[in-house]
Chain A
Amino acid sequence: MAKKQQKGGQREEKKKYNLSSKGPEDDLLGVVSDTEEVDEDESQASDIEDDQSESEVSSDGDPFADDFLRDGDEEGRDDSGLESDESDLEAKSRAIDEAKAIALVEAEEELKLNIKEESDEFRLPTKEELENEAKQPPNLQSLQRRIKEISRVLSNFKSLRQENTSRKEYLEQLKADLCSYYGYNEFLIGSFMEIFPVVELVELLEALEKNRPETLRANTLKTRRRDLAAVLLNRGVNLDAIGKWSKVGLVVYDSQVPIGATPEIMAGHYMRQGASSFLPVMALAPQEKERIVDMAAAPGGKTTYIAALMKNTGIIYANEFKEKRLKSLTANIHRMGVTNTVVCNYDGKELPRILGSKSVDRVLLDAPCSGTGIIWNEPSVKTSKAIEDIRNCAFLQKQLILAAIDLVDANSKSGGFIVYSTCSMMVEENEAVIDYALKKRDVQVVPCGLDFGRPGFIRFREHRFHVSLEKTRRFYPHVNNMDGFFVAKLKKRSNSKLVTTEPSKASEEAGEGMDVENDLNEKTIKVSKMAMKQQNNEASKSSTLSDGKVTIQKKFVNVKQHKFKSVQKNIRKRNSRPAGSNQSNGKEYDKRSLGNAKKKRKFPSREEISQAREEKRKALKKQKV
Chain B
Amino acid sequence: MRPLDEKETTAVFEKLFKFTGPNLKHIVERPATEGPDDAPGRYCFRLHKNRVYYASESIIRRATNISRDRLVSIGTCIGKYTNSGVFRLTIQSLDLLAAHARHKVWLKPTAELSFLYGNAVLKGGLARITDNTHAGDGVVVYSMADVPLGFGVAARSTQDCRKADANAIVVNHQADVGEYLRNEEEL
Residues of A near any B CB (own CB < 8 A): 231, 260-261, 263-264, 266-269, 289-291, 312-315, 326-331, 333-335, 337, 339-346, 354-356, 361
Contact = CB atoms under 8 A, between A and B. Distances in A.
B86 interface: no
A360 to B, nearest CB: 9
Given A335-B180, A344-B71, 4 more contacts: A331-B184, A339-B55, A342-B71, A343-B74
Contacts of A268: 177
Contact of A312 (B34, B37, B70, B145): B34
A315 B178 contact: no
B165 interface: no
A342 B70 contact: no
The 8 A-B pairs at the shortest CB distance, nearest first, are namely A266-B177, A334-B92, A340-B34, A343-B72, A343-B73, A342-B63, A330-B73, A345-B70
Contacts of B185: 327
B33 A312 contact: yes
B70 A314 contact: no
A263 B112 contact: yes
B83 interface: no
B36 A315 contact: yes
Interface of B: 33-38, 55-56, 58-59, 62-63, 65-67, 70-77, 91-92, 95, 112-113, 116, 143, 145, 147-149, 177-178, 180-181, 184-185, 187
Contacts of A312: 33-34
Contacts of A314: 34-36
Contact of A339 (B63, B75, B91, B148): B75
Secondary structure call for the A interface: mixed
Nearest to A356: B65
Contacts of A356: 65
Contact of B35 (A315, A345, A354): A315
A328 B147 CA distance: 22
A334 B77 contact: yes
Contacts of B37: 289
A289 B77 contact: no
B149 A263 contact: yes
B70 A340 contact: no
Contacts of B59: 315, 340, 342
- Among A264, A327, A340, A356, residue most surrounded by chain B Cβ atoms (within 10 Å): A340
Contacts of A289: 35-38
A327 B72 CA distance: 9
- Among B65, B95, B149, residue most surrounded by chain A Cβ atoms (within 10 Å): B95
B65 A354 contact: yes
Contacts of B72: 326, 329-330, 343-345
A263 B143 contact: yes
A331 B35 contact: no
22 contacts: A261-B181, A263-B147, A264-B147, A266-B116, A266-B149, A266-B178, A267-B147, A269-B147, A289-B36, A313-B33, A314-B34, A315-B58, A326-B72, A327-B184, A331-B187, A334-B92, A335-B177, A340-B34, A340-B35, A342-B73, A344-B70, A344-B72
Contacts of A327: 184-185, 187
Contacts of A263: 112-113, 116, 143, 147, 149, 177
- Among B38, B65, B180, residue most surrounded by chain A Cβ atoms (within 10 Å): B180
A275 B37 CA distance: 33
A337 B184 contact: no
B73 A333 contact: yes
Contacts of B116: 263, 266
Contacts of A264: 147
Given A266-B181, A334-B187, A315 B145 contact: no
Nearest to B143: A263
A291 B34 CA distance: 11
A41 B57 CA distance: 102
Nearest to B40: A313
Contact of B34 (A231, A313, A346, A361): A313
Contact of B73 (A269, A341, A346, A361): A341
A269 B180 CA distance: 13
Nearest to A310: B34
A262 to B, nearest CB: 10
Contacts of B112: 263
A135 to B, nearest CB: 50
B148 to A, nearest CB: 7
B177 to A, nearest CB: 4
Nearest to B180: A335
A169 to B, nearest CB: 54
A64 to B, nearest CB: 92
A267 B187 CA distance: 15
Nearest to A292: B36
A340 B32 CA distance: 10
Contacts of B178: 266
A102 B34 CA distance: 89
Contact of A315 (B34, B113, B180): B34
B95 A337 contact: yes
Nearest to B179: A266
Nearest to A289: B36
Contacts of A354: 65-67, 70
A339 B92 CA distance: 11
Nearest to B33: A313
Contact of B66 (A315, A337, A341, A344): A344
A261 B147 CA distance: 15
Contact of A340 (B65, B75, B91): B75
- Among A312, A344, A355, residue most surrounded by chain B Cβ atoms (within 10 Å): A344
A231 B147 CA distance: 12
Nearest to B65: A354
B142 to A, nearest CB: 10
- Among A263, A264, A330, A345, residue most surrounded by chain B Cβ atoms (within 10 Å): A263
A427 to B, nearest CB: 34
A466 to B, nearest CB: 33
Contacts of A335: 177, 180
